[in-house]
Structures are given as structure tokens and as C-alpha cells.
Amino acid sequence: MTTPDVYTRVTDKIIAELEKGERPWLKPWNAEHAAGKISRPLRHNGLPYSGINVLMLWVEAMEKGFNAPLWMTFKQAQELGGHVRKGKRFSGGLRQRHDKDEHNDATGEDEEHKIPFMKGYTVFNVEQIADLPAHYYATAQEPTLDTAQRLDQVEQFFKHTRAEIRHGGNRAFLRHRR
């Protein structure tokens, strides 16, 4: 049996989530990791993933219960002094584009060309990797204020905006008065 190509793998994963009633393009909000409220999965260096990689890594995180938004390759983990824990399976990843510099004889300049393609590569969530520097595993700290104090601060903030806040209807909107 052959391994499905990248396009088939991505399509099958999206369809499986939709059949379960999930919309995988919605962010699985979870702030248990110190990286906090993140809109996209992050590479080992803190740069966000883009395109289909975001969707694929969100689905992977939901399926495997990862709270950390950080992902890296086997080699990146090794370079940071870490190692993938024994028995951990890889998570998916895709590369969507390759940047290539080519010399333009007419201008005498090197020009960057973006070459689109899809190629699978392997990444692991930091929760699958041991012995990384501590900040990769940092979990969110408990709030220093209790719920009542936090709500009071929010109420005071809105009071000082002088915004008129109304509840009702079926959508949020802002109306600016002059």
C-alpha cells in the first residue's frame, strides 16, 4: 500500500474533521501554555506558520491534546539539546512555497522567485520532545487577581471609554457618533 500524497492527506484530514462536526479552520482556543492566546501555531523560533500548515497543526493539536503551540523538526530539537521522546509519532507539516534567488541578466540583479509546491515534512509538538530549554514548556501562570477584581477592572475600563454598551440582537457592531 502506498502512502497517500500530501494533497490527499490534507483533504482526508479536513473531511474527517467535518464529518465529526468540527470546523478545523476555527482556532482551538487554549491558553494553558505560556505562549498564551495565539492565533496560529508557531515554529521553534516563534515565527507563525501560515496557510494550510495552520489548519493541519490545529487539527493535529486537537487530536493529540497538545496545549503548546510550538512545533519543530527532529533536527531543530537536536540543535536545541532536545530529543523526541521514545515512541512518539510525528505530526504532519507541509511546505507550500520555496523561495529561490535567480540572476536576471537584463538588470544584473538577483531576484527572488516564489515557487509554489506542496511537500510533506515532519514536525513534532514540543510536548513530544524532552530536554528542550525551559521556556518551551512554560505554562501559563494563574492570574494575580481573583475573578471579581478582574471583572471590576474590565468594568472600570469600559466606563472610562464613555462607550454606550447595549446587549441584544444577533450580532456585534460599533456605531461611531460624532
For the chain, 178 residues long, give each residue's pLDDT as a single digit of tens: 565 666 677 778 778 878 887 776 665 544 455 454 545 788 888 888 887 788 788 878 877 888 888 999 899 999 999 999 887 776 666 666 667 788 888 888 888 877 766 677 788 999 999 999 988 887 655 556 666 776 777 778 777 777 777 777 777 666 766 6
Neighbours of 1 (CB within 10 A): 3
Tally of structural domains, the chain: 1
Distance (Å, whole) CA 70 – CA 127: 9
Cα angle for residues 82, 86, 92 (degrees, 5° grid): 80
Report if residue 53 sits inside a domain: yes
pTM, two decimals, is 0.55
The β-bridge partners of 91 are 123
**Single-letter code of the amino acid located at 123:** V
Report if residue 147 sits inside a domain: no
**E strands within the chain?**
42-43, 70-72, 83-84, 94-104, 109-120, 124-125, 129-130
Distance (Å, whole) CA 31 – CA 20: 24
Instruction: Give the structural domain span for 97.
Output: 6-139
Report if residue 92 sits inside a domain: yes
User: Collapsing DSSP states into helix, strand and coil, what is residue 101?
Assistant: strand
- The per-residue pLDDT for 16 is 83
Q: Are 54 and 38 in contact (CB under 8 A)?
A: no
Report if residue 167 sits inside a domain: no
Report if residue 168 sits inside a domain: no
- The per-residue pLDDT for 128 is 93
Q: Are 94 and 77 in contact (CB under 8 A)?
A: no
Q: What is the pLDDT of residues 61-110, one digit of tens each?
A: 877 888 888 999 899 999 999 999 887 776 666 666 667 788 888 888 88
